Amino acid sequence: MTDQPPPHPSPYGQPPSDSPPPGYGQVPQYGQPPGYGPPGGAQPPGDGPPPGGPYDPQWGYGPPGVPQGPRVQPSGDDTTWAIMSYVGTILIGFLAPLIIYFVKRKHSALVRYHAAQALNYQLTALIQMVVPLLVAIPLAILTDEPLWFLIAVPAYALHFFAQYVVLIMGAVKAGKGLYYRFPTWLCFRMVR
């Protein structure tokens, strides 16, 4: 018999260790679990993109949120037109984003996106305000009660205040060169 205490039991029948297992905290190399492959972490030739190099789309879609292809910084003219699609909506209605969309849609993706969104907001607001009227008019005629027009009040009140909030938020994001998407219930994507 020895004077040493029995070893502490460890999970999976392995001896206890204070050091992490090999490959712990390392990112697997393209389909290989950590700890496998050539010694020293070298990558076999022809097995994935070169480490530390730029992303090559031939190896898959890439990490989420990374745009494909080179990112082009919008010019000052592009952001001005994108802002004007929202400000013009407040000033003259749907004509401003419609004209900007058809004139600038092939020149800048940023302008096209924001002009289409401003136009979509105007179309959505029109639909959401006309449908309650189409329901209220026949009911008011049949019952000879004009109180049925109160059905349309919530839609009109919503868009009276929401148009300033969402259009100003869109103009601010467009001024920064960002893509900002309005909530779907407030802006149906009809024009892309």
Domain containing 82: what range? 76-175
pLDDT at position 75, please?
72
Q: How many angstroms from the chain centroid is the CA of residue 88?
A: 24
Whether residue 109 is predicted with pLDDT greater than 50 in this model: the reply is yes
Q: Kindly report, residue by residue over 140-172, the tens digit of the pLDDT.
A: 999 998 888 898 898 889 888 988 899 999 999
Q: How many domains does the chain have?
A: 1
How would residue 183 be classed by pLDDT, with cut points 50, 70 and 90? confident
pLDDT of 25 reads 54
114 falls within a domain: yes
Asked whether residue 3 is assigned to any structural domain, the reply reads no
**Mean pLDDT score across all residues of the chain:** 76
Q: For residue 153, with 0-12 CB atoms within 10 Å meaning exposed, 13-18 middle and 19 or more buried, which class applies?
A: exposed
* Residue 97 belongs to some domain of the structure: yes
Q: Is residue 22 domain-resident?
A: no
* Residue 49, phi then psi, degrees to nearest 5: -70, 160
Q: Is residue 59 part of a domain?
A: no
Cα separation, 135 vs 179, in Å, equals 36
Confidence of residue 5 (pLDDT cuts 50, 70, 90): low
